[in-house]
Amino acid sequence: MNWRARLLALDGLMPGMDESGALAWTTLADAPEGCDLVFLGLDEGKACFAAVPEAGDIAPRLANPALWQAMASLRPDDLAIYGGARSLVDWHARHRFCAQCGGPTTLAKGGWQRDCGNCGAQHFPRTDPVTIMLVEHNDRLLLGRGKGWPEGRFSALAGFVEPGESLEEAVAREVLEESGVVVGEVRYIASQPWPFPSQLMIGCHATATSDAITMDETELAEIGWFSRSEVAAALVGEGPFTAPPAQAIAHHLLTWWIEK
**Number of residues lying near a copy of itself (CB under 8 A):** 47
Binding mask 177-216 for a copy of itself (x = CB under 8 A): -----------x-xxxx-x--x-x-x--------------
Residue 192: CB minimum distance to a copy of itself, A:
6
61 phi/psi in degrees, rounded to 5? -90, 0
* Amino acid identity, position 203: G
Residues of this chain, 153-172, that bind a copy of itself according to CB under 8 A: 160-168
> Interacting stretch for a copy of itself, rule CB under 8 A, among 23-31, 77-85, 149-157, 175-183?
77-85
Closest residue by Cα to residue 226 from 200, 250, 202: 250
248 phi/psi in degrees, rounded to 5? -85, 145
Residue 140: CB minimum distance to a copy of itself, A:
25
Told to check if 12 binds a copy of itself by CB under 8 A, we report: no
Determine how many CB atoms are found less than 10 A away from the CB of residue 140: 17
Nearer to a copy of itself, 95 or 145 (CB): 95
Nearer to a copy of itself, 37 or 232 (CB): 37
Q: What is the β-pairing status of strands 105-108 and 113-116?
A: antiparallel
Query: What strand order describes the sheet that includes 105-108?
Result: 105-108, 113-116, 122-123
Nearer to a copy of itself, 223 or 249 (CB): 249
Contacts of 119 (CB under 8 A, 6+ apart): 98, 100, 101, 103
Is residue 105 a contact partner of residue 98, using CB atoms and an 8 Å limit?
yes
- Per CB under 8 A, residues contacting a copy of itself are 56, 80-81, 83-85, 87-88, 91, 94-104, 112, 121, 123-129, 160-168, 188, 190-193, 195, 198, 200, 202
